[in-house]
Structure 1
């Protein structure tokens, strides 16, 4: 190989190494920016209230972790000590699971009906569902709240969940996937004598499992992070969700907050969505990237 060619190849390798170094450096900086506040929250939950109140949050764990987490779990903290973190976690978990499962069930069946059945105004109903994507939550929240009041569903888990279980986005995604299912599958099912329910259970659902898994992760986090709707619907502390409860634990003015307990509660609030993402990571990535069905 001529010297000039060797020099060109070496320069190319150096450029590639340089580009890889810059890429990894940017990635590392991004991770640090996102992780550092969570790390401070975790460390702050292990110190006493006076240390954090003085603004002296160390970078190493303290000795008050067990008392802080025990108080947050059993009694709560801050200026809003009526609801323990354990109760709020259960409420948020139930609400998030019901919202995720309800959205997937309704979206699956509605998309299945639109794609595989022929009935009058079929596409009109689909576009009516799709149009709701253009309406922000704030536009619909007042009439939805009035409906819940008229039905007597305030301060109930049903009132928290029912208005949020319909999802135009999930319906659209399932419809687009169902359109890729070959017509031969439908014809083969008819020849074998399978009805619509049998075809749905034996063919459509197994083919949709990765999509369902990916949407479950997204919709669970959506339900877990709900703030405005639970804030409007619930006055009963026994139904308080942890996202709303965290904001109510923080005082205003000159009142000193129990930041150690608040941070411990924040750590509790992080655990369920992180666990869902970690446990379903493989299915989540596969559902988002898989193209061959």
Structure 2
């Protein structure tokens, strides 16, 4: 029997509502600021409700861009960020799946040694190895290309480790049954392991997509052409506009546009994401 405690229920809901308001208020302020002109944001009090220039502000951002961001439309910057994020995400998951599959199901010399070599790279993030990585990309003539943005970031020791741990939980009887049915290594991987890994792939897809979407340092170093700017680079350039005042209504509008793809991915894959994190029965 569940005991009914109205006071405890009220306090719990009040705390949750206060937390939601606390977290969502900055997003609300950014959305409101993006619908006003520059004069409304340069004087107190800052408006808390929508203005009448939202359509004009977003149209300018998506079609013409701003001089502070190199005159690149935000729509193009979002496309660059989307290509980069999807390339990094799909590349990380594909390489990690294949690496974990080889480590778990194939017997070859120094198998665990190679795994620990991969795992040790967790201590070498992009910021630590950025100079040698940049040198390699320069020698391969991959500056100012999507390949240069994506390829150096697609290796993932974390995803390899997670897939390896999941593959180790698969019963040996399932492997033997697939072998008796005549399933080769590729068929076993495609028809059995991939469907079983669906929730894990979904959880990693969300995490890795947001990781790729929010990249700033590497795109800043490897790209100099304005048509390859990412949306995070665009926001930074708008905010650091030199001697002129930042155009906050455009900055907030760009931030709101940059928020849309990650939110869509999270909402679309939320059920699989939660299931992949909490599921214990395989």
Regarding TM over 0.5, the answer is yes
1:220 matches 2:220: no
Superposed structure 1 runs of 4+ greater than 6 Å apart: none
Query: 2:273 and 2:14 mapped to 1: Cα distance?
Result: 26
Q: Is the 8 A contact 1:53 1:256 kept in 2?
A: no
- Structure 2 residue aligned with 1:279: 268
| SS of aligned partner of 1:47 | coil
Q: Is the 8 A contact 2:72 2:227 kept in 1?
A: yes
Query: 2:39 and 2:240 mapped to 1: Cα distance?
Result: 16
Q: How many residues align?
A: 281
Structure 1, residues 173-223: CA drift from partner, whole Å, max 9, x if none? 000000000001111111111100000011100100011011101100010
- Structure 1 residue aligned with 2:46: 57
Structure 1, residues 124-178: CA drift from partner, whole Å, max 9, x if none? 0000000011224321111111111111111111000001101000000000000
Query: 1:146 and 1:83 mapped to 2: Cα distance?
Result: 27
Paired residues for 1:83-162 under 5 Å = 83-162=72-151
| SS of aligned partner of 1:255 | coil
| SS of aligned partner of 1:193 | coil
CA displacement at 1:27 relative to structure 2? 2.1
Query: 1:22 and 1:137 mapped to 2: Cα distance?
Result: 45
Query: 2:70 and 2:174 mapped to 1: Cα distance?
Result: 58
Indicate the larger mover: 19-28 or 140-149: 19-28
Structure 1 pair 252–81 and aligned structure 2 pair: CA distance change class (3 A): closer
- Structure 2 residue aligned with 1:188: 177
Which of 136, 153, 158 in structure 2 is aligned with 1:169?
Answer: 158
Indicate the larger mover: 154-163 or 16-25: 16-25
Query: 2:99 and 2:225 mapped to 1: Cα distance?
Result: 34
Structure 1, residues 239-284: CA drift from partner, whole Å, max 9, x if none? 1000011100124565222211221111110000000001111111
TM normalised by structure 1 equals 0.92
Query: 2:198 and 2:40 mapped to 1: Cα distance?
Result: 49
Which of 18, 29, 50 in structure 1 is aligned with 2:18?
Answer: 29
Indicate the larger mover: 25-34 or 139-148: 25-34
CA displacement at 1:101 relative to structure 2? 0.5
Which of 183, 188, 192 in structure 2 is aligned with 1:199?
Answer: 188
- Structure 2 residue aligned with 1:269: 258
- Structure 2 residue aligned with 1:244: 233
Structure 1 pair 22–65 and aligned structure 2 pair: CA distance change class (3 A): same
Query: 2:70 and 2:130 mapped to 1: Cα distance?
Result: 29
Q: Is the 8 A contact 1:78 1:261 kept in 2?
A: no
- Structure 1 residue aligned with 2:68: 79
- The structure that has the greater radius of gyration is 1
Structure 1, residues 76-119: CA drift from partner, whole Å, max 9, x if none? 23622411100000000010011110000000000000000000
Q: Is the 8 A contact 1:78 1:262 kept in 2?
A: no
Give the RMSD, CA atoms, in angstroms. Answer: 1.6
- Structure 2 residue aligned with 1:44: 33
